[in-house]
Structure 1
Amino acid sequence: MEPGAIPSSTRRGRLLLGALWGLLALLLSVAGWQSLKACGVRWPGGAVSWCRIPDQGAALASLEQQRQRLLADLAALEHQAEALPECSPGCFSAADERPLDVFWLQDVSSSFSDDLPNLKAAMQDLAKRRAEGLLPAGFRLGVGSFSDKPLPPHGVAPVDFTFRLDLPLTQDVAKAVHVVETLRVANGGDTPEEAQWEAVIEALGRQEELGFTPGSRRFLVVVTDAPASEAGAWRGAPRPEDGNADSDPLNEDYPSRQQVKDKIVEADITPVFLVANTISQNYYRKMVRFLGRGTVVPISSTSEGLLSALLAGLATVCHEASP
């Protein structure tokens, strides 16, 4: 090898090193271009961006169109509301002197313990409305209660019962407050159903005792969180329910849906079911369809807003009955 000549291995090393630097430069160029396309550069814990804010005109125009549609829908709902009958509590004018009888039938099985304070508040509010002249002049209120048959597994003697008249219909709504304060929780047994339908049979079979006014508009308000036991639920019952009130919970089976319907139609009464528990609400919606009358209003698991639910239910059936 001549003096001063570069060994071939060294030349190859320099070429390889040059190629590596070229590759690095290419990678850096690509990374820079991608950074420019992404409008910025990022590093751990920070970022720099030089993007221009994209034009939001189209998105804003779409949002404005949605706002206009919502405003139109709201205006349509307000127009529909204005077309409804003028509503005071229950969709009946405070000046309306026609008799209006509302019998409140309360489930007092074991789950009732959370409901009692809210039931008291609802009755107190009704009494206040009566005192302020906000209820229809012909408004009368009665209170009844139920749990279940006093035999295992449905209930426990002597605390359970299928119907009890706690207060006959009266214009003195303040009495209802006192009556509600005396209500106590029953047992309700180990079955998920209660004796609502037997309570309806018993209540509507004793209309004179309940004090319904002849010719009145009649509402039966059932407050519960459970479906009802129906015919066949009491295995070994002495005999089937005959559909008549007899004040004896242990001589017959539970009533059938048809017997309940017959009694409701005969009494010309409209049921309003205030119901907690989604499954139970579906049960009563099916019952309302079977009855061909009434409504179901969901309530909370602790029956908060009972009075609002009552008025909503009455307003619904009032509107449905309007010509």
Structure 2
Amino acid sequence: MWTPGTWMWRAAVCCVLLETLAHTARGLNMCMSGSATSCEECLLIHPSCAWCAQEDFGRGRTLTSRCDFSQNLQKRGCAARFIEYPTSSISILQNRPLSSKGSGSTQYDVVQIMPQKISLSLRPGDQTWFGLQVRQVEDYPVDLYYLMDLSLSMKDDLDTIRNLGTKLAQEMGKLTSNFRLGFGSFVDKNMSPFSYTAPKYQENPCNGYKLFPNCVPTFGFRHILSLTDKVDRFNEEVQKQMVSRNRDAPEGGFDAILQAAVCKDEIGWRKEAYHLLVFATDDVPHLALDGRLGGLVQPHDGMCHLNDKNEYSASTKMDYPSLALLGEKLAENNIFLIFAVTKRLYVIYKNFTALIPGTTVEILDQDSKNVIQLIITAYNNIRSKVELTVWDHPEDISLSFTATCQDGKPLPGLRKCADLKIGDTVSFNVSVEARSCPPRGTDQSFTIKPVGFKDRLEVAVDYQCDCGCSQIAQTNSSICSSIGTYNCGTCQCEPGYLGARCECQEGEASSMHLSACREAEGKQICSGRGECSCNQCLCYESEFGKIYGSFCECDDFSCARHKGILCSGHGECHCGECKCHAGYIGDNCNCSTETSSCISDDGQMCSGRGNCVCGRCQCTEPGAFGDTCEKCPTCPDACGTKRECIECRLFNSGRLADNQTCQRLCKDEIITMETLKTDDPGAVLCLYKTDNDCVMKFTYSEHVSGLSILAALKEPECGGGPDALMVLLAVVGSILLVGVVLLAVWKLVITIHDRREFARFQSARSRARYEMASNPLYKQPVSTHFVETDFNMYGKSYNGGVH
């Protein structure tokens, strides 16, 4: 069973407390910033605000706000009994346990919702929770009213259901031991243009219709059989029925549904039963405003209009009902409407179910053969879900639902559970919040009801908008100089009087006298941070700190901050200016004057590579870093500085040879190795010449950890000087050798060239053919050439040559 001590209620309380703490942590005290002048105004600012009604609270030059968080008021000296801090609460007035099974007796009061009555006391803005449970009990009584379209197109359906009562009672008997059945029919309004109105059709609308020549006169709605457990009566009445005929396609079914819903006594609906209304048709219904086609301008009044013949007497007087009116009346009388329609109409009636709560739609065969199975299926669907509705919901109250269905998982935002079994219990948590206060003396209430259930939860609402201290207000109180009303710790002065105790008259606080509360002409009265009372400023109290001064011009919280800390925590704020403690300077006192932290190990300020600013070194040498700029691998003097450490640490020599000095200044790690590796990109190679003309090599590198590492050779590289004579002889000899080689190469090239030319001459001479004593180079001046010619003479061709 749900009680106010469940986790949901506790979560709501925790949310309010956490919100209060969050606002306090951020310095956003909405209670004090609201400038409430009365207890009632304070309570409306925020649900976490409280009011102190103690008389002597906050006396002095400061206007102490009586509106604040409750814990703050107590810290500032307000006794707990004077604090007005109402909270929302819940009282359960009626909480009978849920029933487990229904009964066939109408006197048995079955309970399907728990609790049944509660009272809420709501403070505006304060959210609270309550819970309820709903159970579909087993063997609950069922009333089923079968409402059938008896237009001509339904004749074959009428033949099918003539024995419906017996079969339906047998099937429903498997679900409930207390079942009653009723019957009604409808056609349409007996007026033009909805029906045939000519005299020859008055008694028989089927007159002249060859297929079905005999029909009963057109009627709107006719109640035929009240709900009864004698199912044979149902069969007898159905046997007597005949179809009728209307003129247009739509029927007057909505007129019939409304009458079946509101005529409770005539239909015989039981209070302790499920009410099922089966609406069987093969066409669409007329809707509101269709009646204007026949001149019906009066809207439906939602009342029962059955005459002594159990027929709808207002069929030709009022328009068709609207969907909203149908939904309201069905819900008001706890009726589940089942649309049994043919397949082509399914989509149309499915859209109606979205507008009418508690309505389902099933597909009916053309001759209604499946009507029994349809009803059983619809009944099981109805019993498999629970959906909550809210009646008479006040506009200033906000409701939100969280459903917990059979799987036990909370579903925020839902007020419906489906896929239930008969006997299952589901729970709903309801969040309630009042957004404002109604006029005094207004009683508010609302009802939460599962769709189709007669059970409901009635909720009475009371508002926490008044303060208890207001009930003992004192008129003409001596506290208020006998010219005002003392109410909740403050004075409400009579017209013409001012001041915290009504001690001043308005003339004393005229514009001429208000200048005494201005720092200068054009300035705000009391700097906009106080009130001028009797020619002096009473400063407001601020959640940020103290406001003071003759004109409230000073405070202790408007100074410069560093990293969110006022005056960096190293000074005091006086009238908007930081007064720094010894050893600190700057607008926000964040700069330390201490320089000891900037002295490096060698006694220099920032190792000579930077300046000491606010107690920290700012390195100016490129590549220098470290707390005292002591690290700088790329600085020109880096190798020279580290050389001294190599000398004193490895060879106990140099300027730092003193052991204590060497240990103090040379803290780097030194690694010695046989061969020095110079491929480290972060290492700087250093070398120097020792006193005995040897070369010492080492590398200097800085690691990410900040550790400096020196890698040095174990011993300097030493060697003898070269012999100058030998060097000279070697150079001269090398030059001579190169000259001789070049001459030999030149001589070889010339010799090869001459031999090739002589061989070419010898070859030319051996090929020459000439007479002895003749010049082989001589050529004859005459040369002979042969020219061939071809000409035609007397038809003959001749060839000849010319020499």
- TM-score class normalised by the smaller sequence: 0.5 to 0.7
Change over 3 Å in CA distance of 1:270–1:153 after alignment to 2: same
Kept after mapping to 2: 8 A contact 1:100/1:218 = yes
Counterpart AA for 1:123: G
1:215 Cα deviation after fit: 2.5
Kept after mapping to 2: 8 A contact 1:101/1:139 = yes
**Within 1, Cα distance between the matches of 2:167 and 2:318?**
39
**Within 2, Cα distance between the matches of 1:175 and 1:127?**
12
Deviations 1:90-136 (A, max 9, x none): xxxxx954321111111111111111121124333125557xx5462
- Choose which of 157, 168, 192 in structure 2 pairs with 1:152: 192
1:190 matched to 2:190: no
Deviations 1:157-194 (A, max 9, x none): 4612221111100111121111111111011x222211
Residue 205 of structure 1 corresponds to 262
- Choose which of 140, 152, 169 in structure 2 pairs with 1:98: 140
1:293 Cα deviation after fit: 1.7
Residue 100 of structure 2 corresponds to none
Residue 48 of structure 1 corresponds to none
- Choose which of 228, 233, 258 in structure 2 pairs with 1:175: 233
Kept after mapping to 2: 8 A contact 1:272/1:313 = yes
Counterpart AA for 2:279: V
- Choose which of 223, 230, 245 in structure 1 pairs with 2:304: 245
**Within 1, Cα distance between the matches of 2:150 and 2:233?**
19
Counterpart AA for 1:185: V
Look at both structures and tell me which one has the larger radius of gyration over its CA atoms. Answer: 2
Kept after mapping to 2: 8 A contact 1:274/1:298 = yes
Counterpart AA for 1:148: D
Residue 314 of structure 1 corresponds to 379
1:181 is paired with a residue of what secondary structure? helix
Most deviating of 153-162 and 240-249: 153-162
**Within 1, Cα distance between the matches of 2:368 and 2:343?**
10
2:330 is paired with a residue of what secondary structure? helix
Kept after mapping to 2: 8 A contact 1:276/1:300 = yes
1:140 is paired with a residue of what secondary structure? strand
1:266 matched to 2:306: no
Residue 370 of structure 2 corresponds to 305
Deviations 1:52-78 (A, max 9, x none): xxxxxxxxxxxxxxxxxxxxxxxxxxx
Contiguous gaps of at least 5 residues in structure 2: 1-136, 197-201, 204-216, 306-312, 387-419, 421-425, 427-803
**Within 2, Cα distance between the matches of 1:285 and 1:129?**
26
**Within 2, Cα distance between the matches of 1:139 and 1:244?**
27
Kept after mapping to 1: 8 A contact 2:169/2:179 = no
Counterpart AA for 1:303: S
**Within 2, Cα distance between the matches of 1:129 and 1:298?**
19
Change over 3 Å in CA distance of 1:150–1:277 after alignment to 2: farther
Kept after mapping to 1: 8 A contact 2:143/2:276 = yes
Listed as ranges, the matches of 1:1-323 within 5 Å are: 96-128=138-170, 134=174, 136-156=176-196, 157=202, 159-187=217-245, 189-234=246-291, 235=293, 236-246=295-305, 247-278=313-344, 280-321=345-386, 322=420, 323=426
Kept after mapping to 1: 8 A contact 2:165/2:181 = no
Deviations 1:225-280 (A, max 9, x none): 111101111222152222222232111111111111111111111111111141x2
Deviations 1:30-71 (A, max 9, x none): xxxxxxxxxxxxxxxxxxxxxxxxxxxxxxxxxxxxxxxxxx
TM-score when normalising by structure 1:
0.65
**Within 2, Cα distance between the matches of 1:110 and 1:152?**
18
**Within 2, Cα distance between the matches of 1:281 and 1:190?**
23
2:346 is paired with a residue of what secondary structure? helix
Kept after mapping to 2: 8 A contact 1:118/1:306 = no
Q: Relative to total residues, which structure has the larger strand share, 1 or 2? A: 2
Counterpart AA for 1:165: H
Deviations 1:198-239 (A, max 9, x none): 101111121111111112111111011111101111222152
**Within 1, Cα distance between the matches of 2:271 and 2:323?**
26
1:239 is paired with a residue of what secondary structure? coil
Counterpart AA for 2:142: L
2:385 is paired with a residue of what secondary structure? helix
Kept after mapping to 2: 8 A contact 1:118/1:305 = no
The percentage of counterpart residues that share the same residue type is: 27
Contiguous gaps of at least 5 residues in structure 1: 1-94
1:145 Cα deviation after fit: 0.6
Runs of 4 or more, structure 1, over 6 Å off, are: none
Change over 3 Å in CA distance of 1:127–1:216 after alignment to 2: closer
**Within 2, Cα distance between the matches of 1:243 and 1:283?**
24
Kept after mapping to 1: 8 A contact 2:331/2:358 = no
RMSD: 1.9
**Within 2, Cα distance between the matches of 1:241 and 1:210?**
20
Counterpart AA for 2:234: A
Residue 35 of structure 1 corresponds to none
Deviations 1:265-306 (A, max 9, x none): 11111111111141x221111111111222111011121211
